[in-house]
Chains A and B, each alone.
Chain A
Amino acid sequence: MKKSEILTCICRILFPFILIYGFYVIINGHLSPGGGFQGGAILATAILITYIVEVPILEDIVILVKIEKYSFFIIILVAMTSIFTRGSFFTNFVPEHMSMGVKTIFLLILNFLIGIKVSTGLITILTTFMEEGE
């Protein structure tokens, strides 16, 4: 495929801003619109831009697949810890008499984990589709 100078130059400038915006959407997920899924999709587009610029950040996909598998177990473990503090599954693990500021830690952790899982999943799907059989 032909590659133009303008496209690669603008992709180089845009790349860090898209990364910052993706992390902003993930971390502010409980206050503003967006959250883990939307932020993860934005992060995935930021890393897929590097294929256009031809500055490959990712060398092999095996690490990404491992991260995705482990994040799935970590999400379930974080959701299960409420049985020790509150006595029931799949609720907030912070006790009820604490303040609201402390309770948002649960939402932050879950949003961050879901963002990592979505972004790594999308990147692995697209890279295997690009490099099929090569």
Chain B
Amino acid sequence: MNIIILLQVFLIIISITVITLKNNLKSVIFFSVFSLISALLYYFYRAPDLALAEAAIGSAIIPLIFIIAISKQKEFIVVLGSVEDSFLDIESKSGIGYKILEELTDYYQLKLVFLKDKNDISFEVFRVRNVDLFIYKEDKHYVFKGNPASTITNRLSKICGDYKDVKVKFVEEEHVYD
């Protein structure tokens, strides 16, 4: 019986650390430790069937889902409309537009992902995955379209104040039909 009491005390300590940790990845790892200890407790309370299911799902599959979700959060997705090569060149990583985006993503430690899309602008902005930015050309100005609520696009409009060719537009998210 002493082992059961020890494991229960461990459960309480680990659940408190999961809540108080600031790093997401560490708290996910502690969550899998939590479910391993609860699997041991199921075994000591004579439910080995449940212990197997808890060890397989709670400590392997659910943390995997969390880790994938965290790694998806660190992407900054940009959709390119009709933009000239001199302004933003993906392959050689040069141009004014690329410098602006690189400065932005270095500040927040994000990963740049480019998508090329030829479909309609107004429909595509918030439709495909969670697109953060849409870049296209409109009579001698390059326009960056983004979501007004996020702090990243507010930072972008500050950076773009130095360049005369670049405009930043905000689009409300009301037009999405899911």
* In the assembled complex, A44 has its CB within 8 A of some CB on chain B: yes
Residue of B whose beta carbon sits closest to that of A51? B64
Residues of B within 8 A of A122 (CB): 61
Q: Which label, helix, strand, loop or mixed, suits the secondary structure of the B interface?
A: helix
The number of residues on chain B lying at the interface, defined by a beta carbon within 8 Å of a beta carbon of chain A, is: 16
Consensus secondary structure, chain A interface:
helix
A42 interface residue (CB < 8 Å to B): yes
Residues of chain A contacted by B129 (CB below 8 angstroms): 132-133
Q: Given the known A-B contacts A132-B129, A133-B128, A133-B129, are A33 and B52 also in contact in the complex, defined by CB atoms under 8 Å?
A: yes
- A34–B49 touching, CB < 8 Å: yes
Chain A residues, CB < 8 A from B61: 41, 44-45, 48, 122, 126
- List A contacts of B51 (CB < 8 A): 33
Query: Does the CB pair A41–B64 fall under 8 Å?
Result: no
Q: Does B13 contact A (CB under 8 A)?
A: no
Q: How many residues belonging to A are interface residues under a CB distance threshold of 8 Å?
A: 18
Most B-side CB within 10 Å, residue of A1, A25, A38:
A38
Which residues from 23 to 62 on chain A have a C-beta closer than 8 Å to any C-beta of chain B? 25, 33-35, 37-38, 41-42, 44-45, 48
Closest Cβ of chain A to B176, distance in Å, is 15
CB neighbours (8 Å) of B60 from chain A are 41, 45
A-B contact count (CB 8 A): 39
Whether A126 and B65, one on each chain, are in contact in the complex, defined by CB atoms closer than 8 angstroms, is yes
Q: Are A38 and B65 in contact (CB under 8 A)?
A: no
Measured between alpha carbons, how far is A38 from B49 in the docked complex, in Å? 8
**Cβ of B1 < 8 Å from any Cβ of A?**
no
User: Is A37 in contact with B71, judged by CB distance below 8 angstroms?
Assistant: no
Given contacts A1-B71, A126-B64, A133-B128, contact A45 B56 (CB under 8 A): yes
Q: Which residues of A contact B128 (CB under 8 A)?
A: 133
Interface residues in A44-96 (C-beta closer than 8 Å to B): 44-45, 48
* Interfacial chain A residues near B49, Cβ < 8 Å: 33-35, 38
- CB under 8 Å from chain B, chain A span 119-133: 122, 126, 129-130, 132-133
Query: Please, how many angstroms separate the alpha-carbon atoms of A34 and B56 in the complex?
Result: 11
B126 to chain A, nearest CB (A): 13
B57 on the A face (CB < 8 A): yes
Complexed CA–CA distance, A126 and B67 (Å) = 12
Can you name the residue of chain A whose Cβ is closest to the Cβ of B71?
A: A1
Q: A33-B48, A132-B129, A133-B129 are contacts. A41–B53 as well, Cβ < 8 Å?
A: yes
Chosen A-B contacts, 8 in total, with CB atoms closer than 8 Å, are A33-B48, A33-B51, A37-B53, A38-B49, A41-B56, A41-B57, A48-B64, A126-B64
Binding site for B on A (CB under 8 A): 1, 25, 33-35, 37-38, 41-42, 44-45, 48, 122, 126, 129-130, 132-133
4 interchain residue pairs of minimum CB distance: A33-B48, A41-B56, A38-B52, A133-B129
For the complex with contacts A45-B56, A45-B61, 5 further pairs of A-B residues with Cβ separation under 8 Å are: A35-B49, A122-B61, A126-B61, A126-B68, A130-B68
